[in-house]
């Protein structure tokens, strides 16, 4: 019998465990992770394989640290981006949780430098963005880099090892709910874990499981926005006027044709484009390092669509579009922006003749217009032309577009202000997989919040 069972060792689950051990060191806590320990995680594609082998459990997504472990480790230190915690509590409380979580990262080895704190510089960039009908969101960023991110997560793992029970390579199969109260978890190895409190923090990799499990237990959910788009890769000097000052530029645009919101996401100066594998579906992402630089910068352009009833499957919708790209390209598609505008597919010869050398060499040249719905594709084109006004060269014919980038958020769970599920007592749901957060720092903050709530009850 455990006091607390935690599903998922991403930042939300890790910070829950850290805070519980700080407040209740005598408690018995178990953390269940379907992937490997941090030191055993690997990606064969990054280690030299010419093509992604579609591992049963993607090493970039599963394991200690979650999908953020191999990301470039950006901590966005504001409630305005990266999640919806302000929907559940006062803004000041969210700011305090973010500040507390940020200090914990520092304690475990995060870098001291924070970008975007010079408000005079930000105000000038904000003015330039406004002239292009773009909204620049103030978002100070602490950048760890992939190498430091792994070191920080390893330090957290080592600190918790011995204090709590950590199960690796084991997945949650189903929740045990009796009389409106969670009693524990059944694992895929046949083991049953009994616990007074259960925290579900499965990350985006587990969003599909969460949705199915909550539907089975009649736990209320509402539709989340569906984010579908592309990853843009261009010469680093194009965005250097922004990235040298802010590191990551959070820009929002309401595309004129359809009025859809398009946003930049996960900007990686001098970074690389990478492939990820969500249950056999190849999607694209981006990383950057603290000490290793490429000549390119990449970022995502995501179009947010919020569907109404009777639509209830945001994950299936995103998977469908990603599968189309996989069908046409055998994995990730890449296309020059000029070819997209000219209505022709990119070819290996056209890609080779570009001024940009792709960092994701396994991507297949093709035609994204055969994959991305017309509405979203139109909005992406309009966003690229808007960005070109503040970063000339963005809409170059050589700019590379990789697809598909899609964020698999589950339908948003109906939660109390304590992030406890409505209708099932002592069951808490946090992090990106629950649709509550969309980034490392707010996911971490959500873990701290529920840990404190549980400890106060205990």
Q: How many residues does the chain have?
A: 458
**454, two tokens:** 């549980």
Q: 405 in helix, strand or coil?
A: strand
What pLDDT tens digit does each residue of the chain (458 aa) get? 999 999 999 999 999 999 999 999 999 999 999 999 999 988 776 666 767 777 778 777 889 998 777 766 889 999 999 899 999 999 999 999 999 999 999 999 999 989 999 999 999 999 999 999 999 999 999 988 767 888 999 999 999 999 999 999 999 999 999 999 999 999 999 999 999 999 999 887 787 888 889 889 988 877 667 789 999 999 999 999 999 999 999 999 999 999 999 999 999 999 999 998 887 899 999 988 767 899 999 999 999 877 766 777 777 888 899 999 999 999 999 999 999 999 999 999 999 999 999 999 999 999 999 999 999 999 999 999 999 999 999 999 999 999 999 876 656 788 999 999 998 999 999 998 888 898 899 999 999 999 999 999 98
Is residue 448 within 8 A of residue 100, CB to CB? The reply is yes
pTM, rounded to two decimals: 0.89
What does DSSP assign to residue 335?
E
CA–CA separation, 103 and 133 (whole Å): 36
Q: 213 in helix, strand or coil?
A: helix
Q: Tens digits of per-residue pLDDT, 105-143?
A: 999 999 998 999 999 999 999 999 999 999 999 999 998
Tell whether the torsion through CA atoms of 410, 19, 36 and 73 is positive or negative: positive
CA–CA separation, 23 and 74 (whole Å): 27
DSSP-derived secondary structure for 243-303 = HHHHSS-EEEEE-TTT--EEEEEEEETT-EEEEEEETTEEEEEEE--SS---SEEEEEEEE
Q: How many CA atoms lie within 13 A of 347 on its CB side?
A: 4
Buried b or exposed e, range 346-366, using 16+ CB within 10 angstroms: beeebbeebebebbbebbbbb
Instruction: Name the phi and psi angles at 311, rounded to 5.
Output: -65, 130
Element (H, E) at 216: helix 207-216
Residues whose CB is less than 8 angstroms from the CB of residue 331 and which lie 6 or more positions away in sequence, other chains included: 51, 52, 275, 282, 362, 363, 364
Q: Tens digits of per-residue pLDDT, 315-338?
A: 788 889 999 999 999 999 999 999
Residues whose CB is less than 8 angstroms from the CB of residue 176 and which lie 6 or more positions away in sequence, other chains included: 182, 183, 184, 185, 186, 192, 194
CA–CA separation, 273 and 150 (whole Å): 18
CB count within 10 Å of CB 139 equals: 22
Compute the C-alpha angle 204/154/27, nearest 5°: 80
Q: At what angle do helices 91-107 and 11-23 cross, to 10 degrees?
A: 90
DSSP-derived secondary structure for 56-77 = SS-TTTSSTTGGGTTS--EEE-
Q: Are strands 29-33 and 333-336 parallel, antiparallel or unpaired?
A: unpaired
Model pLDDT, residue 371: 96
CA–CA separation, 133 and 47 (whole Å): 42
Buried b or exposed e, range 25-55, using 16+ CB within 10 angstroms: eebebbbbbbbbbbeebebebeeeeeebebb
Which CATH architecture describes the domain 2-115+140-222+411-457?
A: 3-Layer(bba) Sandwich (3.50)
Compute the chain's Rg from CA coordinates.
Answer: 21
Model pLDDT, residue 132: 98
Domain boundaries along the sequence of the chain: 2-115+140-222+411-457, 226-407
CB count within 10 Å of CB 162 equals: 8
Tell whether the torsion through CA atoms of 145, 156, 274 and 360 is positive or negative: positive
Tell whether the torsion through CA atoms of 38, 41, 43 and 46 is positive or negative: positive
CA–CA separation, 379 and 56 (whole Å): 34
Give, in order, the Cα–Cα distances in Å from 357 to each of 45, 156, 353. Answer: 18, 37, 9
CA–CA separation, 422 and 414 (whole Å): 6
């Amino acid at each position: 019998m455990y006091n607390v069972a935690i599903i998922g060792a991403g930042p939300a689950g890790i910070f829950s465990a850290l805070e519980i051990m700080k407040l209740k060191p005598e408690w018995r806590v178990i953390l269940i992770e379907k992937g490997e320990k941090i030191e055993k995680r690997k990606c064969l594609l990054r280690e030299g394989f010419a093509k992604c082998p579609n591992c049963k459990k993607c090493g970039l997504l599963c394991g200690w640290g979650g999908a953020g472990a191999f990301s470039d480790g950006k901590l966005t230190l504001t409630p305005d981006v990266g999640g919806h915690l302000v929907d559940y509590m006062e803004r000041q409380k969210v700011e305090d949780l973010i500040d507390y979580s940020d200090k914990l990262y520092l304690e475990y080895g995060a870098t001291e430098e924070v970008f975007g704190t010079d408000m005079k510089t930000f105000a000038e960039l904000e003015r330039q963005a406004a002239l292009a009908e773009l909204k620049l969101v103030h978002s100070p960023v602490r950048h760890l880099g992939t190498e430091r991110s792994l070191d920080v997560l390893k330090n957290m793992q080592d600190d918790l090892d011995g204090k709590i029970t950590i199960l690796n390579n084991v997945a949650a199969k189903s929740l045990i709910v009796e009389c409106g109260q969670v009693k524990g978890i059944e694992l895929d190895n046949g083991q049953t874990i009994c616990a007074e409190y259960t925290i579900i923090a499965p990350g985006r990799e587990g969003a599909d499981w969460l949705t199915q499990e909550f539907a089975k237990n009649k736990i209320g959910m509402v539709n989340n926005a569906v984010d579908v788009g592309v990853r843009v890769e261009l010469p680093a000097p194009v965005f250097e006027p922004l990235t040298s000052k802010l590191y990551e530029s959070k820009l929002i645009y309401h595309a004129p044709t359809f009025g859809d919101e398009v946003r930049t996401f996960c900007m990686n100066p001098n970074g690389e484009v990478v492939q990820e594998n969500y249950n056999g579906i190849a999607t694209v992402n981006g990383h950057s390092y603290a000490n290793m630089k490429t000549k390119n910068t990449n970022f995502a352009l995501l179009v947010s669509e919020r569907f109404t009833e009777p639509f209830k499957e945001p994950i299936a919708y995103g998977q469908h579009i990603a599968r189309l790209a996989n069908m046409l390209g055998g994995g990730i598609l890449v296309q020059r922006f000029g070819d997209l505008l000219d209505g022709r597919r990119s070819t290996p010869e056209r890609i080779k003749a570009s001024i940009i050398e792709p960092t994701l060499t396994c991507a297949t040249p093709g035609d994204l217009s055969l994959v991305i719905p017309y509405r979203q594709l139109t909005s992406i084109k309009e966003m690229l032309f808007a960005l070109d006004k503040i970063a000339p060269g963005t809409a170059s014919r050589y700019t590379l577009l990789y697809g598909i980038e899609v964020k698999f958020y589950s339908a948003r769970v109906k939660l109390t202000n304590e992030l406890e599920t409505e209708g099932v007592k002592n069951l808490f749901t946090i992090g990106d997989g629950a649709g509550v957060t969309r980034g490392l720092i707010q996911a971490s903050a959500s873990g701290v919040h529920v840990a404190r709530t549980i400890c106060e009850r205990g």
